Amino acid sequence: MERSNEHAYKDIIAKKRERNDMKKTIFCDIDGTIFEYRKFETFRTTPAVMTPGALEKLKQWEAEGHMIVLTTARPERMRSHTAKELSENSVPWHKLIMGIGFGDRHLINDMAPNKNINRATAHNLSRDQGFECIEI
């Protein structure tokens, strides 16, 4: 990138950061978070039910241009079934990461130099609580 263009780009990014209108990446669990929790062995025999406010918030974030990355411990072999459930419930998503561990999840990100502004946030929800309390 040419030096003047690089400076212009950095100015644009800095202004967007100040206005908090940078496009965000939302990493979101599925079961117990977007869908009411159910055991793996019942996925094919029970319907997926949305938690309160989840669909509205996900659609809002998609409309605002944020990237939605779904993460789930569901095994890779359930990808097509999972995509079908998401589609049937009109859940918007951009990437679907399957087969992650059952343990705690941590999000790691750097902060801009000389600015003490967190660029990684976690929202811990009670199981099936839904998204009504989440503001990003």
Provide the binding-site residues for Mg ion, judged by CB under 5 A. Answer: 29, 31-32
Cβ proximity to Mg ion, 102 vs 118, nearer residue:
102
Cβ proximity to Mg ion, 12 vs 107, nearer residue:
107
Q: In the bound complex, what is the minimum distance in angstroms from residue 126's beta carbon to Mg ion?
A: 11
Cβ proximity to Mg ion, 5 vs 126, nearer residue:
126
What is the Cα–Cα distance from 96 to 76, expressed in whole angstroms? Answer: 10
What is the Cα–Cα distance from 101 to 112, expressed in whole angstroms? Answer: 30
Cβ proximity to Mg ion, 8 vs 100, nearer residue:
100
* Phi-psi domain of 130 (left: phi exceeds 0; alpha: psi -120 through 50; beta: other): left
Q: In the bound complex, what is the minimum distance in angstroms from residue 124's beta carbon to Mg ion?
A: 11
Q: In the bound complex, what is the minimum distance in angstroms from residue 71's beta carbon to Mg ion?
A: 9
Neighbouring C-beta atoms of residue 48, cutoff 10 Å: 19
CA distances from 94 to 9, 10, 34, 60, 103 (A): 25, 26, 15, 14, 24
Q: In the bound complex, what is the minimum distance in angstroms from residue 18's beta carbon to Mg ion?
A: 35
